[in-house]
Structure 1
Amino acid sequence: MPVEWQPVRQSRTHELVLQSIEEQVFTGKLRAGDRLPPERELAPVFGVSRSALREALRVLETIGVLVAQPGRGPDSGARIVRNPDDALGRLLRLHFALGSYSLHDVMEARVALERSSFAAAATHAVEEDLDEAGVLVHRMSQPDIAPEEFNELDTQFHVKVASGSGNALTSTLTAAVRESVRPLILRALAEVDDWSATREQLNSQHLELMRLVRTGNGEEAADLAELHIRGFHGTLVVEDRTGAEDGGTA
């Protein structure tokens, strides 16, 4: 029986560097807080050029597992970190903008995440988390608050509840999903006919969500969270579909 040869995948140099660093992380030889050797020392170890090494380090910095501090001294150089929140949000926002996911997909993912987080928060959230979430709701109730600030506080509120659920990944994903559609939400808030009435309606639901979580009514909180998301986020989906039918874009 003849041998069936398969093409060998050719990796670019910086991908080989990435693979090597990933292996060090997976084996526990590199941990969060560890500092990588200077480029002039690390490049010869890998047997690559400093430009290839920099390319690999830039990829790690983009995905939120490395921070590079230029200059000299004990705080300079590249350090392994755990900072997935912003990186994942940027990545998801780009994929949404490129059409990888529809607005309906984003809404359904958000509903699933936040039903889970509000239900779990009713059982697991500590008083400190609930107090901080309550402060955010109070700040959103100010009559002179602008839509952009309201949206920022709104995001913080939902992420805080998610972190109170006891699941760090749920919190990160909630922030990323919110970030992916932030430009659309800001535009929709800026275009509402009666901003004051919209703000009051959204925040009255926030207040009720807080009450349900504090009193341990997880299922009711999950139901209201879904209603809350579908109420406003759902209007974006309708507008998106209408725009698509008219030949427009989101």
Structure 2
Amino acid sequence: MRKIQKILVHELVSQEIQNYIQEKELQEGDKLPSVEEMTQMFGVGRSSLREALRYLEAVDIVRVENGKGIFVRDVDTFRFSGKVKVERERNFLLNTLEVRKALEGQAVVLASKRITEKQIKEVESCLKEYRILKEQNKDTSRVDLAFHRHIIKAADNPVLETVMDAISGLYEKFFNDPLGDKQLFDETYPFHITMFDAIASHDTERAVEEFNKMMNCIESKIRTFQL
């Protein structure tokens, strides 16, 4: 059974404003009703409405000019709906990445101290498959996820592994078509190799350094992604 996601008031209001723009067939530069008028239209408080407007302004859907009013900035249908979706997923991934850095970062520390020869061979096999798929320009998301699961397993901490399993749905979002692009994080491939080399040689400091490079690369790709 899927959990019901919590929806904040300003998210509902932002959607209603978008619906209003589409229903009224407003064009770029057209003026929206005032804050006072929209609080009455949608039956919400000024704070929720202003938060919704800040969000819509951040994703280039409206433009707020002090003393003049609120204006439509972008009404292209595809970009209109797409920008909102991307912005929500971007924020989700960035928030989840903060948790991933903490948990998986600790797994890297432990793995660098506890990885076995058998596990080293398993990761080597995984990286070999990763390289072949990448060279053939095929989807690497499955083997990428498998690589990280090997590292978590090598940490040999059942509690940490259980916690990671508990957030697997959030974690796997990085590998399952993030922001609609299966190859978004292909640039992290070299860090898989350097991080593993450090783990295999039990060099904790270098393993963490390479892990952080990978996470910084992912964060940069998320923040700069455009439709």
Q: TM-score range by the shorter chain?
A: 0.5 to 0.7
Quote the Cα distance in structure 2 between the aligned partners of 1:113 and 1:212: 18
Q: Quick one: which of 148, 171, 175 aligns to 1:158?
A: 148
1:213 to 182, 190, 199: 199
- Could you report, residue by residue, the CA deviation over 1:113-162 in whole angstroms, capped at 9, with x for unpaired residues? 12111111011111111211111111110111512xx1110111011111
The C-alpha deviation readout for 1:169-221, integer Å capped at 9, x for no partner, is 4334446142134444373334x6xxxxx74x433211111110011111221
The percentage of aligned residue pairs carrying the same residue is 15
Change (3 A) 1:154 1:182: closer
1:105 aligns with 2:98: no
Structure 2: state its 5+ residue gaps: 9-87
| Pairing partner for 2:136 from 144, 155, 165 | 144
Which deviates further from its counterpart, 173-182 or 121-130? 173-182
CA distance in 2 between partners of 1:161 and 1:205 (Å): 13
Corresponding residue number in structure 2 for 1:185: 178
Q: RMSD in angstroms over aligned alpha carbons?
A: 3.2
> In 2, distance between residues paired with 1:214 and 1:102?
32
Judging changes above 3 Å, is the alpha-carbon distance between structure 1 residues 225 and 97 closer, same or farther for their aligned structure 2 residues?
A: farther
1:192-211 to 2 correspondences below 5 Å: 199=186, 201-211=187-197
CA contact (8 A) 1:115 1:223 kept: no
Quote the residue 2:216 is aligned against. Answer: 230
Asked if 2 retains the 8 angstrom alpha-carbon contact of 1:162 and 1:171, the reply is yes
Alpha-carbon contact 1:118-1:161 (below 8 Å) kept: yes
Structure-1 separation of matches of 2:205 and 2:108: 8
AA aligned opposite 1:134: E
CA distance in 2, matches of 1:132, 1:184: 25
* Aligned residue-pair number: 142
TM-score with structure 1 setting the length: 0.48
The 5-angstrom pairing of residues 86-105 of structure 1 reads 102-105=92-95
2:120 equivalent to 1:120? no
After superposition, the C-alpha distances for 1:21-63 in whole angstroms (9 at most, x for unaligned) are xxxxxxxxxxxxxxxxxxxxxxxxxxxxxxxxxxxxxxxxx5x
Q: Superposition pairs for residues 56-67 of structure 1, below 5 Å? A: none
Distance 1:113 1:125 in 2: 17
